[in-house]
Structure 1
Amino acid sequence: MDWDKLRIFHAVADAGSLTHAGDVLHLSQSAVSRQIRALEDSLGTTLFHRHARGLILTEQGELLFEATAAMVRKLDTTAARIRDSEEHVFGELKVTTTTGFGTLWLVPRLAKLYAQYPDLKVDLMLEERVLDLPMREADVAIRMKEPNQQDLIRRRLLNIRMRLYATPEYLQQTTPPRRIEDLTAHRLICQNPQTPQVSSGALLAKMLLAQSLNSTLMVNNYFGVLQGVLSHVGIGILPDYVTADFPDLVRVLPDIESTEVPVFLAFPEELRTSRRVTAFRDFVVEEINATRKQQQESELV
């Protein structure tokens, strides 16, 4: 099959419109239409249903679109490998992680990454949904559990726990709790257990909320919980790595914590030689080691 026609077909299927595809390809609508008709004639089948709201793929069109999508992903990967050089790291890197880890730990450290690689373009996707790395929804993932998808290179970065924290100012205004029952005199800041999050954090929140608390503040991500704690609103459930950047936080009820949560970095096997992926992996590992050292030093004080 003619690759040029396939390229145009893919653009039309992706856009759902001859006009929009023409804009992307810098071709007229009539030129795009002629190429689609020629491709349909060569295959002896109809690839699109035409209607007033645009174009819809036929069953045969869906099969061809799956094939062209795989070809495009492969070409994108090949192009990335070609662009990567031994001396220079540049181009787009799609990274996905949870909202909590991304906002509380990763984003505050990205200035150091850009200082090393000023031509890097990071597309950071913060969400609890697990993106499909083999399908190239992202290049690199930092996840709060071991990935189970095939053909992934994975590395365990650290283990974290959810714990209770408050500011010294808040604790000076009230009587610090000494037992879990004392939390009834305080405001708990946490995520709703039904909010998408790591299961150990949800279980800890559920256990503490069962104490018949008089007042709570629920936020749908850990960044909001942290802001509530820093604003002296109450005692918050937060991942322990926040103490690296907020060493003044005081741990409350040290015997209460979640089970361990493993943190993994993963990327597709086909990106093993990508300079951008390697640079990002090495940066994260270096910063994780620095965070661990900070935590150890603070625990000794």
Structure 2
Amino acid sequence: MFEMPVFPESAANRDEWILLRRPMRNAVTAHEPYAFFVEEECGADGQVERVATIFLTNRECPFRCTMCDLWRNTLTKSVPVGAIPKQIEFALNRLEPARSVKLYNSGSFFDPSAIPPEDYEAIASRVRGFERVIVECHPAFVNRRCIAFRDFLRGRLEVAMGLETAHQDVLEKLNKRMTLEQFGEAALFLRSYAIDLRVFILVQPPFMKVEESLLWAKRSLDFAFDCAATAATLIPTRGGNGAMEALAEAGMFVAPELKILEDAAAYGLGLRRGRVFTDLWDVKRGRECVHCFEARVQRMREINLLQALTDGVHCDACGDRSREAD
């Protein structure tokens, strides 16, 4: 019997390999967003602002990225016209006021199979009170639909794109179906139409040597800001989608330690080229010291808001010291 390798070399076989290892989807409905809340974030003007974050329920992304687990809260079919505006209205009626809004949809906002273009005007009417509207999109869907949606808005449009890593060989194995050149072209398109860019960067993705992960996090930050990003978010690569567990078992993936995130954030902030955030919503202690882990995570939350390094956390138990303020 034919056995598929630990990870296929052929891009044509990777989708199947990833799909075969998936757990079950979560039960979601086209009538409601699957999550929503108000969070605090340092805004483009340097002031801490409240952001309404809405995770819209829609069709799964057509790309089967190796590390992605966002498909778990998606549908197998496109939502009908009118469903997305109603989801936004559902969330906003239950949230406290905020200055900006994130409309995240586990894929690409400008994928017409996910968010019907016929809904752009209705969506814009629901978010007319926000100064900034942030959506996410794969570079392949960055096109004139971005302009059409921007023209309906009163606030400024910001598009978040997943660079993941500037390491081209690793990026190729992530099955994202894009190159650094294509990412740069999409970023240039957004900039030419006065649309802001936010970049997602994976810290220590699979297929990368642990000892090289900080170097490539730094290079990815450099690349993001070379593409005129106004903000970059460092995301500790996590498991939870089946494929990542298989890669971990084969020695191809290890979750990053907090020190890598601390040092990458310190580097990015030191560049002073844009805001740098560390995604901490699902950060796990793993092998970290039980005595200082929570204090170090709290420090990173404060750094996210201040956009400046604070005093490091010294731990007598493990003898470690997080990155000090310069």
TM-score norm. by structure 2 comes to 0.24
User: Which structure has more strand as a fraction of its residues?
Assistant: 1
Larger radius of gyration: 1
Structure number with higher relative contact order (C-alpha < 8 Å, ≥ 6 residues apart):
1
User: Which structure has more helix as a fraction of its residues?
Assistant: 1
TM-score norm. by structure 1 comes to 0.26
